[in-house]
Structure 1
Amino acid sequence: MPPKTTDITDDEDLEPVTDETAVSARRVVATYATDADECRMLLSMLGIAPVENA
């Protein structure tokens, strides 16, 4: 089923989550992910992937 036009938002309308919220969300995702690859994928999809050190 295609999304409703009211469900579509511009990236400009989105605000970044707080660090505390991102940390909590990462913990939940890590708890329920079946493996490390799934965890990385889900974190990336949610936009809360940790920043890699270069």
Structure 2
Amino acid sequence: MPAKTSDKTEITDEEDLEPVADETANSARRVVAAYAVDADECRMLFSMLGIAPDEA
């Protein structure tokens, strides 16, 4: 079965994004922190994923 594709490759409007639940964000933070090479990478990944503690 071929991979599902979409013409929409960029998120142009941040209003389309919904914040994740606190429990989900906390779980994601734990996983990211466990696999990050160092604190800087961890902070960068948190920011990229929109789960930085100050964004909650």
Q: Same fold (TM over 0.5)?
A: yes
Choose from 3, 6, 9 the match for 2:8.
Answer: 6
Query: Which aligned pairs between 1:1-54 and structure 2 lie closer than 5 A?
Result: 5-9=7-11, 10-51=13-54
Which amino acid is 2:10 matched to? I
Deviation (angstroms), 1:49: 0.5
Q: RMSD in angstroms over aligned alpha carbons?
A: 1.3
Give the TM-score of the pair, scaled to structure 1.
0.78
What is the number of equivalent residue pairs in this alignment? 48
Where do 5+ consecutive residues of structure 1 fail to align?
none
Where do 5+ consecutive residues of structure 2 fail to align?
1-5
